[in-house]
Structure formats: structure tokens, C-alpha cells
Chain A
Amino acid sequence: MRRTYLGEFEEIVLLMVAILDGEGYGVTVSQALEEHTGRIVTFGTVHNTLIRLEEKGFVSSYLGGATTERGGRRKRLFRVTALGSRALQEIQQLRQELWQMVPPNTLRLGGV
């Protein structure tokens, strides 16, 4: 039994944080989201999801990296924690196992 449930959007955002590898913060995550999945979501959604992921312990954050383009304001940068990466791996493994169990012909393109 997994301790914490990871929603679909949360999983995607968590993956984005993993992809960005330490460079993930509000802006980059939403841009990556748009770029890789084509989904356009409000900033608030991303912001909330990141906070929720941190509360669940899947990411950790710290303030840092002030740049001129944001008027000297600091960014909150996110990193996947050990718990987060295990959760991602478990999900992937579970998917893998499930894929193995699908009979070969069922999902053939243009099936039936």
C-alpha cells in the first residue's frame, strides 16, 4: 500500500521537477509543462501543486537565485526528494507490470 496517493497532475509536475533537475521553480515548471505536454494551466494550479507535493514530502524547496529579470526577487527552487523518486519509480514499475499483463492483441492499433 502506498502511503500517499499521487494524482495524475501531481505525477506530471513531479516528473517535470525531476526533469528540470534542480532548476525547477514556478516559471520553468509551467513552461516545461506547456512545452512537453501541451497543457496550459494557470500559474495558481502549478503553485498549489508544488506546495501540496512539498507537504507530502515528495519535493523539497529552498529560496535562492535572485535575478534581475524578476526585479531582484528570489525564486523558490524545487528538488525531488528520495521519497519522491521512490514514488515515481513505484508508479513506473506498477505501470510496467500492468503493461506486461495486458494480452498482446488487446491494444493493437485499430483493434476489434
Chain B
Amino acid sequence: MNRSPQPRNDRPPRFAHWLLTRLHPENTLEEVEGDLAELYDYWHHRAGRTQAILRYALNVLSVLPPFVRRRKQVKQQYEQPSSIHPVMIRNYLKIAFRNLQRNKGYTLINVAGLALSMTCGILIFTLVSHHLSYDNFHANADRMYRIVTEMHRDNIGYNHSVPSPLGKHFRDDYTFAEKVARIISADDQLITLRNGADIKKIKEEEGVAFTEPEFFDMFNFPLLEGDKKTALLEPNTAIMTERMAKKYFGDENPIGKTFWLNNRIVFRVTGILKDLPDNTDRKNEIFVSYPTLKAYDSWLANDIDGWGGIRDGVECYVQLRPGVSVAQVEGVMPAYVKKYRPTSKNVHHYKLQPLADIHFNAQYGGVMEKKNLWVLAIIGLFLLGTACVNFINLATAQALKRAKEVGVRKVLGGLKGQLFWQFISETGLITIVGVIVALGMAVLMLPVVNAFFHSQMTLNLFQNSRFVLFIVALGVAITFFAGSYPGLILAGFKPVVALKGKLSQQHIGGFNTRRTLIIAQFAISQVLIIGMLVIMYQMRYAKQADLGFDRAAIVMVPMGDDSTHTKMNTLRNELLRIKGVEKVSICYAAPASTNSWGNFVKVDNEETNFRTSIKSADDQYLSTFGLELAAGKNLFPADSAREFLVNETFLRKLNIKSPEAALGKLISANGGTMVAPIVGVVKDFHDASFHQEISPIILTTNKSDYSDYAIKLNVAQAKTTLAAIEKAWLEQHPDQLFAYQFVDESIAKFYETEDRILQLVEFFSLIAIFIGCLGLYGLMSFMAAQKTKEIGIRKVLGSSVSQILWIFGKEFSRLIGLAFLIAAPIAWWAMTNWLQGFQFHVQMEAWIFLAAIGSTLLIAALTIAYQATRAASVNPVKSLRSE
């Protein structure tokens, strides 16, 4: 065709033409471009260049959006089977199943990865939604508040309790509240049932609560039997939950039955409550009438004296009238402080805490801070995200294997959309299996989680619609998130290239993204591993280090409430007679204990400026606990403070250089009621957890402070000995409850928080490592596929298997090394900070870091070993033949 270029001046304006090609709808561009070019020539010919240019520009404008009408796509000429045609769906499922079956390992890893992260997701969702549902089932919950106290001194203290009379005065003086209810809980109480001489004793950890009847008008705790208006009006009446009634009275009708509180106050059951739901912060299940408070504690029940201070557990709930603001109520509170606490330096500010805040506000004893819930939710999301990314990695690494299938489908008329949906449905299949596995695992794991968080959550798929919705949403989201990228890649293969087998990993790409991901995953794993090792190391040190006294096989038995000096002596002699009891000491507390009695003592009539812990104990204390004397002699048996022993820290605080110099100095303690000379110096022992410094301690024989028997047992027959001890104890205190605790166990309890942190860290490092390994496995598959030819050529040229293995080894060591470089400083910083919380702690040592990187390298090596060996030992004939 003769296409001599037009003279430059005769061509349409370039900008207008460019605009046309960019903006005009594609399917009519060719004809319109041609028409306009023709018209331009026509105008040029008829009216000259300027006119032509102007008209051209105007007419181009008339065919640009929004003026132009779009030609609709021509309908397909042949019938297109719908991609959701039953035949197609059957085909997709069949192909999917075949694929999953052929790649069993791949399927297993994918299902495991998704299931693990979804298990975490489900558990975290359950936990978070459980906590968010706390006490949200009361009518008018939005108008309900608890009155709490801010105590302004040098700093501000927060207390969820108020002086006991506040509620009564507030109800009588103001009309802000529709309802006011005081509830005073007393936990850890002894409840006894008496039937003639037969006594049944039960330690009630959650105790009882002295409750005003209005409490049950405000809170939605329905009464099954009895009248909530009258059940708690009279003194010595009580209501309890069904569960409690069953525990105490079995199948008998509990109404009218009686029980005793601390062997002092008798109660008659007048009502039965429906069991309290799990999601309430109210834990005690026995409610007793408020008028009985006078018999239990007259100070608390007194309307004037009660203002003197705050007792823990005194709560006051109010339900405000609609329209009454918090500020209004808080505004009238200072008047009470002025009126009833005029001289107190401890300035109370009474505030209203919304009911919805109670569960989450740690300042006022909230159980679970919202912040922590969000952290958990983010961890859950992160886990799900990584699992999806790993899935994408594995799927794209596998994509090449399916190139031929995609090619054939496309040649036979499969559309991109259909292929995409096919792969999505395959992912969906894996996800569904994953969801089912995850649900099973979540049900199995729930008791563990419940034990860990001290909660009673339940998983009920058929009753909780929100949970069902979550599961469905989770499945759909995971399917799309994990499936769409591999789906798009696969569906986008060009059929010719795919069928010729010319597709390479370059068509898939993202190598560096995978590397970054691996580094991130392993950095997190290593931080967690280092953290775990440091915590374990410190815990081992704290629990096994020499505390300066013996703690093995020593059991502490509290005295009975009704103990007297005679009973004490009788019991001690009885105990010493038991076979298997080696030593008995009567004392205030074990050497290391959470109980401690602090005092500011005078030495030789000079005031000291430090807190001294007074431990009262008899002359057997040193030998029972194996405490050593640095100077002087042991205490002489006595009934009151006749002599003092002090520890070395006490001397250091006083700047006394040698133990001998301290002997004979006069100590005056407890405001001058205990005055005696120092007769000996004991070597320092740890009197509290390793979080704290060793305190200055003085020991003396002050009988009235004794509260426990410290009994050293012969380990071999501990069980029978304990039974004998219980029998002897009960003979002295028939209506009391026998209890005991081993000293080493109570010391281990100092570190409960740390143990819980350790468990959490262990759990999350396991998961992080597992997920990291999945990512590693994905990258390894990807590399093995990518380097097939390279390995073939290397082998032909004489490489050994171990040299080829090193190709992979090098890559992965480098990634893990990089991850370590990131992880080490973070872990070092975090764990050094954590250790600062201990006065006595281990050092961050090099072996911890070496162990962390060594173990990750080992795990990584195990993960990739199989695939790497397989890739390295392939016969080069096979890998090179395809060309």
C-alpha cells in the first residue's frame, strides 16, 4: 500500500489526536480515528488548515467521555458454558481433589499452617469476645456505675472500694440515683454445716457477700426460688446459687436450711439464684443479708465510724436517673469528705466508674485491660496474615506444575475468570478442611486456655450466631486472601507459552519478597527463643539458688482460729511425737514469705530510717530452717521478746562493720513494747522473691505473734506423716479446717506471673517457629524448582551432592544470620529490661544467643533437608532433558 507520509503541516494536531487515543473507548477507536482523519483532510481541503485544526479539535472533544456513547460489547457468537454450571463445578472439585491428593505433603503443610493459625484466631476471638461481653446483660447497664475512690496523697492511689456508709448517705441525701446497692464481699471464709454433733467444714474461697436487696433489682441475676424483695431483708438470711445449694445440701430442698459462717454467725437460706453466668465479675455465689453485717464486723456496719477508712471489698453500685450526668453526682461528693473526714490527710475523691469499665480498668482491679485484648487481636491477625502469605508462597512455587493444565483449559475456551474461580475454589477446599481441623483443635485447646486465663469460656457453634458468623467470615476471608494472588498468576498464563513448557519462575517473581518474609519470621522466632531462654534461666536460678535457708520437706501448718498458748504447746508436743516429724518450730512466718510485719525500730535509743521486718519465732526456728549464725548465740526459749537476733543486712544498714560489735546493743521495737538486747547475728537469707532486696530482719520470741507451725518432715513417709499431723491438729481444733503448704511450693508461687509469661512465650515461640518453618519450606520448594537446570549443569560439570547442598545452605544460613542480626539487639534490650525487675538476677550470657541461633539453624536445616537432598540428587539427565 502506498502510504507516503503526509506533509507535516497537513497532519491533525498531535495533542488532540493523543487525547483521542488515550480517552476514547477502545472498541470504537479505530473507526473514529479513521473517520476523523478523513474529515480532517476534507476540512483542510475545503476551508484551510486553521479551520481544519479547530474543527478537528472540537470534534475530538465531541467523541471523548462523557459525551461519547459507548458501543456495547458484541455478544459471544457461540454458547459460553457458565462457570458455575454443575458440570464445571464437578470438574473443578475433581481436579482439586486430584491435585490435593497428588501433592499430599503440600496439602498437609497448607492445611496444618492454616489450621494452626485459625485455631489461634478462633481461640483469640473467643477470648476477646468473651471479655467484651462481661456484665453486658443487665438492663440499664449504661446508667449503672460503681462508686470508687481516688486517694490523693503525694501520689494518687485508686481503690474500687468506698467507705461503707457512703451508699446509705448518698441514697438518703440525693435523688440522682434510682437505685443504690451496697455489697460487701468477704472472701476466703469458713462455712460449716451442723447436724447435731456432725460438722461439715468447707473453705469457701470466693466467700460471701453482704448484699442489700436492691442489688438484685439492678443486676440481672434472677431468683429461681424466693422473693428478691424480701429474701435478704432480715438479719441472718442468705441466698445462694443453684450450684452452691447442690454443693452444700445435695438434692435436698435448700430453702430453710442453715449454715454457719466462721462458726460465729448462722444463716437461713431464703432463696435460690440461677447460676451466675461466666461473663460476670461477680464471683461469690453466696449472698447474705446486709443487716447481718453488724454481727460480722461492727466497724463496717457503723454509719459514722465506717467513714474512717476503706476496707477492700466494700462496693457501692448506683443506677442514675435518665439525664443525670456523672459530673453532677461527682460534684456533690466532696461535701461528704468535708463532713465525715475533716481531719484526715488522706483526701478521698469519690468517682463514678461506668459498669462497662469495671472489667477492663486495672487501676480499679479490672481483670483484663482492653489494651491487652487488642494486642491479642493483633497477634491473631498477624498469625493469620503470615499463614496466608506462606500459603501464597507455597502455591506460587507449585504453580509451574500446573502450567500445562492452564494452557489446555485456555485453548479449549476457558476464560481467565473461570480459571481464577477454579483456583479460588481449590483454596476454599483447603480452607474448609483447615477450618474443620481448627475448630476441633480449638475445642481441645479451650480447657488449657481456660486454665491459663482462669476463665470458663465455652465454644458453642450452634448457639452463638456471632461465632458462626466469625467462622464463615474467617473462611471466606482466608480463601480470598490466600487464593487470589496464586489464582491471578495461574489464570494469567499465556496458553502458548504455558503449553510449550517455556514458563519459568521469572513469570512468578517475588523472590526478594519471600526472603524478606523469611527474615522477618525468623527474627520474631529468635527474639522469642532468646526471651524464653532468659526467662527459663532466671526462673531456674530463682527457684534453685541457695536462699540461705532450707526449704525442702518443710511444711507450714496454720494455727486454728481458736488457738491458745496451752493448745499451741500441747499440739507441738503431739507433733513431735509423730514418727516422721523431725523438727517443729512455732513462728510468725517462714523465712521467705509474702507475710511480713514491718516496723521502725530504735537501736540504743536512736531512731532508724529504714523498715525492719520482725519475724517472731521460737528457739527451734534456726535449726528447723537451717539458718546459720554469724556471731553470738541462738534465742533462749521465752514467751515474749527477751532477746533479739538480727541479720547481716540490718547491721549493714546501721553501718556496723563486724557482727561481734552488734552484740549487746538494745533494740526497741513495736513502739517500745518490745525492748531487748541483740544476742546473735544470723547470716543473710532471702526473705522475699528475687525481685526484692533482702530486708533488715530481727527475730525474737514473741508468742502472741505466732501463727504457723513449721514442721520438718522425713521425706520418705511424708504422706502418712501429714495424715497424722492432720489428726493431731483436728483433736485440738475440731471445728476448724486443716490446711498446709510446703515452703518450697509457696516460694515457687512468688514467681507465678513469670511462670505464666514463660508459658505464653513458649507457646508463641513454638507457633512462630512452626510458621517460620512453613515459610522456609515454601522458599525451599521455590528455589528447588528455580534451580533445577542450574543444578543439572553443575552436576554435569562435576559438582558433588554436598557442594550443591551448600548452595541452599548458604542461602538459608545467610537469611537466618540476617534475622539474628535484627533479633539479637532487640532481644538483648528487651530481656535486659526484664531482668532489671529482679534485684538478684542472672546475666545475659553469650551462650543464650548462640543457643538461639544454633537451634534456629538446626530447625531450618531439618526443614529443608529433605527437599534440598532431593533437588541435589536428581539425575541431571532428567533435569536437562526437557530442552
**Chain A interfacial positions (CB closer than 8 Å to B):** 25-27, 30-31, 42-45, 47-48, 51-52, 54-55, 63, 68-76
Q: A26-B35, A69-B38, A74-B34 are in contact. Are A43 and B71 (CB under 8 A)?
A: no
B576 at interface (Cβ–Cβ under 8 A)? no
Q: Which of A43, A55, A76 touches B63 (beta carbons < 8 Å)? A: A43
Max chain A Cβ within 10 angstroms of own Cβ: one of B28, B42, B62, B68: B62
B3 at interface (Cβ–Cβ under 8 A)? yes
Q: Which of A43, A52, A68 touches B36 (beta carbons < 8 Å)? A: A43
Measured between beta carbons, the chain A residues less than 8 angstroms from B62 are 42-45, 47
Measured between beta carbons, the chain A residues less than 8 angstroms from B71 are 51, 54
B69 touches A70 (CB 8 A): no
Max chain B Cβ within 10 angstroms of own Cβ: one of A43, A51, A72: A43
B72 at interface (Cβ–Cβ under 8 A)? yes
A47 touches B34 (CB 8 A): no
The interface residues of chain A, by DSSP majority, are classed as helix
B54-73 vs A, CB cutoff 8 Å, 1 = contact: the mask equals: 00001101110001111110
Measured between beta carbons, the chain A residues less than 8 angstroms from B58 are 42
B1 touches A44 (CB 8 A): no
A44 touches B31 (CB 8 A): no
Cα A64 to Cα B68 with chains together (Å)? 22
- Give 19 A-B contacts (CB < 8 Å), ordered by A residue: A26-B39, A43-B36, A43-B62, A47-B28, A47-B62, A47-B69, A48-B69, A51-B69, A51-B70, A51-B71, A69-B38, A70-B37, A70-B38, A72-B3, A73-B34, A73-B37, A74-B31, A75-B31, A75-B35
By beta carbon, the residue of chain A nearest B67 is A44
Q: A43-B62, A52-B69, A68-B3 are in contact. Are A63 and B38 (CB under 8 A)?
A: no
Q: How far is the CB of B536 from chain A (nearest CB, A)?
A: 77
Known: A30-B39, A48-B68. 8 other contacts (CB 8 A): A31-B42, A43-B32, A43-B35, A47-B32, A54-B71, A55-B72, A70-B38, A74-B34
Q: How far is the CB of A52 from chain B (nearest CB, A)?
A: 6
Measured between beta carbons, the chain A residues less than 8 angstroms from B30 are 63, 73-74
Measured between beta carbons, the chain B residues less than 8 angstroms from A71 are 3, 33-34, 37
By beta carbon, the residue of chain A nearest B11 is A71
A27 touches B38 (CB 8 A): yes
B35 touches A70 (CB 8 A): yes
Cα A46 to Cα B28 with chains together (Å)? 13
Cα A67 to Cα B440 with chains together (Å)? 72
A27 touches B35 (CB 8 A): yes
B655 at interface (Cβ–Cβ under 8 A)? no
B2 at interface (Cβ–Cβ under 8 A)? yes
Q: Which of A31, A44, A52, A76 touches B59 (beta carbons < 8 Å)? A: A44
Q: How far is the CB of A26 from chain B (nearest CB, A)?
A: 4
Q: Which of A48, A51, A55, A70 touches B34 (beta carbons < 8 Å)? A: A70
Q: A71-B3, A73-B33, A76-B31 are in contact. Are A27 and B42 (CB under 8 A)?
A: yes
Q: How far is the CB of A58 from chain B (nearest CB, A)?
A: 15
Q: How far is the CB of A73 from chain B (nearest CB, A)?
A: 3
Cα A42 to Cα B62 with chains together (Å)? 6
B41 at interface (Cβ–Cβ under 8 A)? yes
Cα A63 to Cα B39 with chains together (Å)? 18
Cα A25 to Cα B1 with chains together (Å)? 22
Measured between beta carbons, the chain A residues less than 8 angstroms from B3 are 68, 71-72
By beta carbon, the residue of chain A nearest B69 is A48
Cα A27 to Cα B67 with chains together (Å)? 18
Interface residues of B in 63-90 (CB under 8 A from A): 63, 67-72
Cα A73 to Cα B1 with chains together (Å)? 12
B38 touches A47 (CB 8 A): no
Measured between beta carbons, the chain B residues less than 8 angstroms from A68 are 1-3
Cα A10 to Cα B36 with chains together (Å)? 21
B1 touches A72 (CB 8 A): yes
List of 9 A-B pairs having minimum Cβ-Cβ separation, nearest first: A44-B62, A73-B34, A42-B62, A26-B35, A70-B34, A48-B69, A43-B59, A76-B31, A44-B63
Max chain B Cβ within 10 angstroms of own Cβ: one of A55, A69, A73: A73
Cα A48 to Cα B32 with chains together (Å)? 11
By beta carbon, the residue of chain B nearest A76 is B31
B39 touches A47 (CB 8 A): no
Q: How far is the CB of B369 from chain A (nearest CB, A)?
A: 64
Measured between beta carbons, the chain B residues less than 8 angstroms from A44 are 59, 61-63, 67-68
Q: How far is the CB of B593 from chain A (nearest CB, A)?
A: 92
A75 touches B34 (CB 8 A): yes
By beta carbon, the residue of chain A nearest B72 is A55
Measured between beta carbons, the chain A residues less than 8 angstroms from B59 are 42-44
Cα A47 to Cα B71 with chains together (Å)? 10
Measured between beta carbons, the chain A residues less than 8 angstroms from B42 are 27, 31
B35 touches A69 (CB 8 A): no
Q: A69-B38, A71-B37 are in contact. Are A26 and B68 (CB under 8 A)?
A: no
Measured between beta carbons, the chain A residues less than 8 angstroms from B38 are 27, 69-70
By beta carbon, the residue of chain B nearest A44 is B62
Cα A107 to Cα B5 with chains together (Å)? 58
Q: Which of B1, B2, B31, B72 touches A26 (beta carbons < 8 Å)? A: B31
B31 touches A69 (CB 8 A): no
Q: A75-B31, A75-B35 are in contact. Are A69 and B41 (CB under 8 A)?
A: yes
Q: How far is the CB of B52 from chain A (nearest CB, A)?
A: 13
By beta carbon, the residue of chain A nearest B58 is A42
By beta carbon, the residue of chain A nearest B68 is A44
Cα A27 to Cα B55 with chains together (Å)? 14
Measured between beta carbons, the chain A residues less than 8 angstroms from B68 are 44, 47-48
Measured between beta carbons, the chain B residues less than 8 angstroms from A69 are 37-38, 41
By beta carbon, the residue of chain A nearest B4 is A68
By beta carbon, the residue of chain A nearest B33 is A73
